[in-house]
Chain A
């Protein structure tokens, strides 16, 4: 019963964790704007969120967004099953292709990174508001006002 209340929040929590992960990626790119040989990284957010929430279509915060079932099999009865890693999308980071070739083989495009950073900031705040709105809706349903 309780999971009906929390499943919708769970999806937003996954999105929030991935947003902060992407924020960190872009911060690393901006930090390494002058490092020779550094290759900018980014993530495919839609794919990462789909992987993290374990659903085929990210259509909304319904019950199908629940975490995937644990697939690791234990060979001994005492084995503790491994849970899905929080935000299991770390493995599919992409490399940014350089928009302009650089003599020191650095592929950070500062315009693109700043735009992505601003975009990610806005979407992080949007996710925060979704969570707040969700909590407020649930609270007003509980108090019955």
Chain B
């Protein structure tokens, strides 16, 4: 039954989007962390999505779910601030912060939450259609 498969498709997408939201949350939480004793600050992370074919009945191309294929770290140099009195300052008096861009993360967060809502609505519609199908011939 095709409608049952919608829950798999939209569920995988909602799970992928919530993972993206999770990464955004950890990026934002670490936006102001400074480099530890090893000199390496937190690197912003980014998820990459990938289509996952779910061939359950019919053409497998017609039901395509989503999976997170990789979580990559942004390798750009972190923000450096001159603050010689900071306990984590290096020999030149610079403190290295994480390379998280808060504006980018906020945009990412809104996009993820909108996509999540879309998938939930698709599931709600599929559910109400299935309930109506079950009541077919009654009333």
| Residues of A participating in the B interface, judged by any CB pair closer than 8 Å | 16-17, 20-21, 23-25, 27-28, 30-38, 41, 87, 90-91, 93, 110, 114, 117, 121, 124-125, 128, 131-132, 135
Asked if residues A31 and B119 are in contact (CB atoms below 8 Å), the reply is yes
Asked if residues A90 and B125 are in contact (CB atoms below 8 Å), the reply is no
Contacting A33 at CB < 8 Å: which of B5, B48, B115, B129? Answer: B115
| Residues of B participating in the A interface, judged by any CB pair closer than 8 Å | 1-3, 5-6, 9-10, 12-13, 17, 20, 48-51, 58-59, 61-66, 111-112, 115, 118-119, 122, 125-126, 129, 132-133, 136-137, 139
**CB contact under 8 A between A31 and B126, given known A38-B51, A125-B132:** no
**CB contact under 8 A between A131 and B64, given known A23-B3, A30-B118:** no
* B1 nearest CB neighbor, chain A only: A20
**Complexed CA–CA distance, A31 and B10 (Å):** 6
Contacting B64 at CB < 8 Å: which of A21, A23, A38? Answer: A38
Asked if residues B126 and A90 are in contact (CB atoms below 8 Å), the reply is no
**Complexed CA–CA distance, A114 and B119 (Å):** 11
Asked if residues B61 and A41 are in contact (CB atoms below 8 Å), the reply is yes
Chain A contact residues: over half helix, strand or loop, or mixed?
helix
Contacting A17 at CB < 8 Å: which of B2, B17, B63, B118? Answer: B2
- Chain B residues whose CB sits within 8 angstroms of the CB of A124 once the complex forms: 129
**Complexed CA–CA distance, A36 and B72 (Å):** 15
Q: Give me 29 A-to-B residue pairs in the complex whose CB atoms sit less than 8 angstroms apart, sorted by A's number.
A: A16-B133, A20-B1, A21-B2, A23-B129, A24-B5, A24-B6, A25-B62, A27-B6, A27-B9, A30-B10, A30-B13, A30-B118, A30-B122, A32-B51, A32-B64, A33-B115, A34-B20, A34-B111, A35-B49, A35-B51, A37-B51, A38-B64, A41-B62, A90-B58, A90-B59, A93-B61, A128-B133, A132-B136, A132-B137
